[in-house]
């Protein structure tokens, strides 16, 4: 089941991100996303357990994927593909979708490429702790 995240989901999403990323989003940042009018969070759950979560910023005809993570024990089962496909359908065809991803995160880059995103630029030294370049990606509009 895919649904919009609520304030009650914040601890589970924070835990999922903590277990998934080198510098994860803090609980307070996730709370801000859920309460902000320009940001949204969606979760994919099974038996009331969150398997995958995504955070987005949407403004007019532009959207940015802020983060997405699948539970480490549930990877390569299609959860992120299912959730992101749903979110992209919800955004509609006229929205330009962007994201930034760590250059060393080849798994995530491969995932986004499999979802029709392409690399259009790079920001050298953009990330700290650990240091990394940012790869800029955009969804290929149909």
- Site residues, ligand COA (CB under 6 A): 20-21, 52, 67-70, 75-81, 101, 105, 107-108, 110-111, 114
Closest residue to ligand COA, Cβ-based? 107
Is 95 or 109 the residue whose CB approaches ligand COA more closely? 109
Q: Smallest distance, Å, CB 21 to ligand COA?
A: 5
Q: How far apart are CA 93 and CA 141, in angstroms?
A: 7
Q: Smallest distance, Å, CB 10 to ligand COA?
A: 18
DSSP structure string for 6-66: -GGGHHHHHHHHHTT-SSPPPHHHHHHHHH-SSEEEEEEEETTEEEEEEEEEEETTEEEEE
Residue with the two structure tokens 């800029």:
136
Is 34 or 99 the residue whose CB approaches ligand COA more closely? 99
Q: Smallest distance, Å, CB 75 to ligand COA?
A: 3
């Amino acid at each position: 089941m895919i649904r919009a995240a609520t304030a009650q989901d914040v601890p589970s999403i924070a835990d999922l991100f903590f277990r998934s990323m080198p510098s994860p989003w803090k609980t307070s940042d996730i709370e801000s996303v859920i309460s902000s009018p320009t940001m949204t969070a969606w979760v994919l759950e099974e038996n009331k357990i969150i398997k995958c979560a995504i955070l987005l910023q949407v403004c007019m005809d532009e959207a940015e994927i802020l983060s997405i993570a699948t539970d480490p024990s549930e990877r390569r089962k299609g959860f992120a593909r299912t959730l992101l496909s749903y979110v992209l359908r919800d955004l509609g065809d006229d929205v330009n979708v962007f994201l930034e991803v760590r250059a060393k995160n080849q798994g995530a880059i491969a995932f986004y490429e499999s979802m029709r995103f392409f690399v259009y630029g790079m920001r050298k030294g953009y990330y700290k702790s650990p240091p990394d370049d940012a790869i800029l990606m955009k969804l290929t509009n149909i």
